[in-house]
Amino acid sequence: MFQRDNAFTMGTPIVILLTIIICPQMHMSWSDVKGAALGAVSLAGAVLMLSFVFDFIPDGMMAQILNILNTFVVYYTYALILGLVMSTAMTACLSPVSLVRRRMW
């Protein structure tokens, strides 16, 4: 029906890779898991409602919407990568400072 742009097909694996890298570093408490479960149910409901709405959108308009979403995914992916690079750079720059401070005290 619709052909996905290269931007979307390239952005998706990058987001998945970043998720695989970042998520194991997270340690959630039981109350966090309860909140996440509520959020997951809400997200599933929103996706279900959007899928019903998208069934009634004409094909030409749907192609434009997908183009906008693909552009958003590309810029969002770039922002995630930039954040990861900046976080890594800050850690690399501040780690020696932290070691020096420990030795001084």
pLDDT per position as a tens digit, 71-97: 999 999 999 999 999 989 888 888 887
Secondary-structure breakdown of the chain: helix, strand, coil percentages, each rounded to the nearest 5? 85, 0, 15
Establish if 5 belongs to a structural domain. no
Establish if 92 belongs to a structural domain. yes
Establish if 11 belongs to a structural domain. no
Establish if 36 belongs to a structural domain. yes
Q: How far apart are CA 1 and CA 87, in angstroms?
A: 40
| Closest C-alpha among 55, 73, 57 to residue 4 | 73
What pLDDT does 50 receive? 85
DSSP state of 57: S
Establish if 52 belongs to a structural domain. yes
Q: How far apart are CA 58 and CA 55, in angstroms?
A: 8
Establish if 54 belongs to a structural domain. yes
Tell me how many domains the chain contains. 1
Establish if 15 belongs to a structural domain. no
Establish if 25 belongs to a structural domain. no
Name the pTM for this structure: 0.43
Q: How far apart are CA 84 and CA 90, in angstroms?
A: 10
- Alpha-carbon dihedral sign for residues 18, 22, 28, 31: negative
pLDDT per position as a tens digit, 26-47: 777 888 888 888 888 998 999 8
Give residue 36's domain range.
30-104
